[in-house]
């Protein structure tokens, strides 16, 4: 699924990296999303950490052991970092939830996203921040 997403993001404009550590202000851990996307030239040279402020999008693909972390913990973490778009691809449920409009506080006083749009696998997902439409027809559910 990550390969399919990565292939749909234009390489000429966007850097698409896997297993990249992030620096999020105020966050002691350094999360490593399944895919990070930022505009070419937004980060000076290669480095171990990419600042959250430089990112356009991070993607997580849910597994049986990461469901809670991807849907809750990282949702808050990426919102706190101000990352504009966070698609959570969930092959357990057969859906993709696009979280956008990060905010510092929701009704519970936690960082969150103001917008959450969920689409079933097979539908398209508009990634405004990248100016593309993501095709999810290749995505499959896990047994």
The dihedrals phi and psi of 53, each to the nearest 5 degrees, come to -60, -20
CA distance 77 to 68: 13
CA distance 77 to 73: 6
| Domain limits, the chain | 2-135
In DSSP terms, which residues pair with 15 in a beta bridge? 38
pLDDT at 138: 95
Which segments in the chain show pLDDT lower than 70?
45-46
pLDDT at 130: 97
pLDDT at 52: 95
Q: What is the CATH number of domain 2-135?
A: 3.90.1570.10
Structural tokens at position 30: 């350094």
């Amino acid at each position: 699924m990550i390969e399919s997403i990565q292939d749909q993001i234009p390489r000429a404009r966007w850097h698409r990296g896997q297993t990249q550590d992030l620096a999020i202000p105020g966050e002691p851990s350094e999360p490593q999303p399944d895919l990070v996307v930022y505009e070419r030239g937004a980060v000076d040279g290669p480095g171990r950490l990419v600042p959250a402020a430089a990112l356009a999008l991070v993607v997580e693909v849910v597994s049986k052991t990461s469901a809670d972390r991807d849907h809750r913990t990282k949702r808050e973490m990426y919102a706190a970092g101000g990352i504009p778009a966070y698609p959570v691809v969930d092959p357990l449920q057969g859906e993709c939830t696009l979280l956008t409009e990060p905010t510092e506080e929701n009704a519970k006083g936690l960082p969150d996203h103001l917008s959450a749009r969920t689409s079933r696998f097979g539908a398209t997902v508009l990634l405004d921040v990248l100016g593309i439409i993501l095709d999810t027809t290749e995505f499959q559910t896990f047994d």
